[in-house]
Structures are given as structure tokens and as C-alpha cells.
Structure 1
């Protein structure tokens, strides 16, 4: 994983009204409706060009709508296996080249956006670094609006385990132990956090169109 040392220049604090409803069924209908303002291609086009103007509701539809986008893959590891090693080795030019190709495949990838933003900043590509930061901000706001992590009912909802770790790094939460429980379309992760005596809850949502057996 890209650890917090690599993300230190990009992670930033948000104060958000948490607990907005994430209605997956409604989102799925909206992003597939060509006449809807949240039709997914429209959201993507605005996201990659003007993310700074994204409302909270747009961000929520974009982030969770990715579960039902045509290019969605239940488990995608290219950002970790092809991109992250290059960043860690300091091969920033190659990392940017690989990262930008992965971005074309799916720009709604928080892990990739943060890594690319770091590469751009280190390479003095200020405009690209800022644009990428704004895109990452849209996704983080959507996650933080989904709950407060205090219970199963108020769990932070993420579409990738990587996003779970990213939110923990952003808030300087150190996980001590994790227990997981699978449901039909998600996995609940419950963390014991070093900095807090209360448990921290995440729900990792999946579109399980691909056959996969969760590890026990």
C-alpha cells in the first residue's frame, strides 16, 4: 500500500455533515438513466474536468455509482501491483505513465488518485497535482458523508478496502485488530483503534457479478 508518508502532502481535513443517505438502488437507477443529471458518463466528464464544482450529492452518486459502471471490476489490483511499486522506488516518470493509463480505465479510484497526485507534486506538475487533489477530495467527502463509523448502522461505506485504509491514514487512526463479517453484497470490518477506545466500523460494498469466495 501507499503509506501515509507518501500521502502526507495530499491528505487534508474535512468537516462534513455526516450521515447522508446512500441509497444504492436509487443511485443505480440514476447513473443508468441517460436523461438523468447523474447519468454516469456525465458525472465522469465533469469529475475529470471540474471536480471543484462537485456537490456532495453528485460526489455520492459518482463514488457509489462506480459499483455499477461499465468498467467496474469487483477486485482490481493493478494500482497496487503495477503503479504503487514504481512510486515506492521513486520512478515517478514511469509511475505517472502507468498511473495515467489506469486512470483512463477508471478515474474513480481514490488509491490511484492520491498516488498520482503525489507523483505530480514531486514532479512539479502543479496544475495536475491540484486537479488530482480536488478529485480525491470529492471521493473522500462522499465516504465521510456516509456515516461516522460508530456502529454497523453508521458505518463508513467504501467501495474498496484500500479506501478504508486511506480514511484511517487521513485521520491518523492506527488499527490494532480487525474482525470481518460478510453479508450478501458487502463485508463489515470492525477495527479496534489505538487512538480510541470505541470500535470503528466500515462496510465494504461490492457488486458481486464476479464469482469470489471471501476468505474466512
Structure 2
């Protein structure tokens, strides 16, 4: 497990250290693509699951943000209590089987991918560990290429609050998280320091999650 976590840390460090390509995330365009070209989007998901090395950063962005326009999207309301209970009880095989079912519903969840890395590691399935790590790295790269986090206008775009915590804790390694506040369509996260991010606050655009909640309670 420690070796796996070290590998994740080294790979995530490369995400932070090397310059990121900036990508434009246009939700209207992505929505139109997913709804009108659903077969093409599904093919992208299949290539993602197969760890297709030819997928570009823009492809990963489309895969990630596109999920929020599918019927499977649950905003920030997804809970995996049964899975987490099995993991706490160290029932690795049962947990891994359930995890795969959870990922069919949400293949782009960073939290589920971390669970997948941990479970595959416990079961000594090294190739699968690497495959899950690669997915995590590529999706994280797409997210931190969506902005710079310094303002509402340039916020990092995430489709789930869970994902913003993954970026904070596993990519930027923030220390001393102090406050979370909602500023219009953004979560403003304030913290003491980060070795990989300048400043002590980061904006995350959570508009997709907020829109889901709004539609849910109409």
C-alpha cells in the first residue's frame, strides 16, 4: 500500500510541476455533444476504461464533464457507504466487486478511482493498480487545466464536491484547511499553505452540481 501511495504521489507531482495546457470547458457545447452524439460519447468512455493512450487532454475533459449531462449523474449526492463499510472490514474481494458496479454508474469519480487503486493494491493486481492511477492522473490533469483557481471567473471546474477535495488533498497537498464558503457558483476553499499551489485560497466552479440540485428540487 505504501509503495502504491508513493507512486500516486510521484505521478501527481508531475501534474503540478509541469506546465498544463489550458482547455476551454464550454458546458453548452459539451451538453449538445453528449445528448446529440451519445454513441460517440459512449465510445470515448469505452476508450477511457481501456486506458487508450491516444486520448488527448481535451478528450479527458469531455469524458469528465460530459458525465454531468448523462442520466447517471447524481451531482454531489453520491454516497458509497456499503463500499466503505466493506473496505473498513477488509473484505477486499467483496469491496472490489461492488466498486466495479459503482464505477459503472460513475466512471469519472476521483474518489472511486482512489478506492480502486487501494483495493487493487490490496489484492495485488498490479496492472489494474496502474490503470486506475493513470485514469486518476489524466482526469486530474483535465480539471486543473480548466482554470487557475484564483477567481470565480478562472475557477477550477468540477462536477462533484468530492472531486474538489481530491484535487486539494492529493494534487495540491494543501495543509491546514480553514474554511469552505459558497461564493455564487463557486466553492472558495481557504487553507494555510500548499507546496504545489501559490496562494492560500482556491476557487472551484461547482455550477454543474448546483444545477443538478436545483433541478432535483423543482
Shift of 1:97: 1.3
User: For residues 23 and 106 of structure 1, do their structure 2 counterparts lie closer, same or farther at Cα, with a shift above 3 Å needed?
Assistant: same
Q: What CA RMSD, in Å, does the superposition of the two structures yield over aligned residues?
A: 2.6
> 1:210 maps to what in 2?
216
1:131-179 deviations in whole A, cap 9, x for unaligned? 2122212211111111122222221111111111111112211243223
User: For residues 200 and 69 of structure 1, do their structure 2 counterparts lie closer, same or farther at Cα, with a shift above 3 Å needed?
Assistant: same
Q: Indicate conservation of the 8 Å contact 2:20/2:141, yes or no.
A: no
Q: Indicate conservation of the 8 Å contact 1:18/1:147, yes or no.
A: no
Q: Provide the aligned length of Structure 1 versus Structure 2.
A: 204
Of 116-125 and 27-36, the range deviating more from structure 2: 27-36
User: For residues 118 and 179 of structure 1, do their structure 2 counterparts lie closer, same or farther at Cα, with a shift above 3 Å needed?
Assistant: closer
Aligned pair 1:57/2:58, yes or no?
Answer: yes
Q: TM-score, normalised by structure 2?
A: 0.81
Aligned pair 1:78/2:84, yes or no?
Answer: no
User: For residues 34 and 71 of structure 1, do their structure 2 counterparts lie closer, same or farther at Cα, with a shift above 3 Å needed?
Assistant: same
> 2:34 maps to what in 1?
31
Give, in whole Å, the separation in 1 of the partners of 2:55 and 2:144.
15
Q: Indicate conservation of the 8 Å contact 1:120/1:126, yes or no.
A: yes
1:99-149 deviations in whole A, cap 9, x for unaligned? 011112221211101111111022111121122122212211111111122
Shift of 1:64: 0.7
Of 157-166 and 67-76, the range deviating more from structure 2: 67-76
1:48-78 deviations in whole A, cap 9, x for unaligned? 1134332001011111111101211224433
Which of the pair is proportionally richer in helix?
2
> 2:188 maps to what in 1?
189
Q: Indicate conservation of the 8 Å contact 1:179/1:189, yes or no.
A: yes
> 2:24 maps to what in 1?
21
Q: What pairs up with 1:3-22 in 2 under 5 angstroms?
A: 9-11=7-9, 12-13=11-12, 14=15, 15-22=18-25
User: For residues 108 and 51 of structure 1, do their structure 2 counterparts lie closer, same or farther at Cα, with a shift above 3 Å needed?
Assistant: farther
Give, in whole Å, the separation in 2 of the partners of 1:35 and 1:96.
28
- Which residues of structure 2 form unaligned runs of 5+? none
Q: What pairs up with 1:120-199 in 2 under 5 angstroms?
A: 120-170=120-170, 171-181=172-182, 183=184, 186-195=185-194, 197-199=199-201
Q: TM-score, normalised by structure 1?
A: 0.82
Give, in whole Å, the separation in 2 of the partners of 1:9 and 1:98.
25
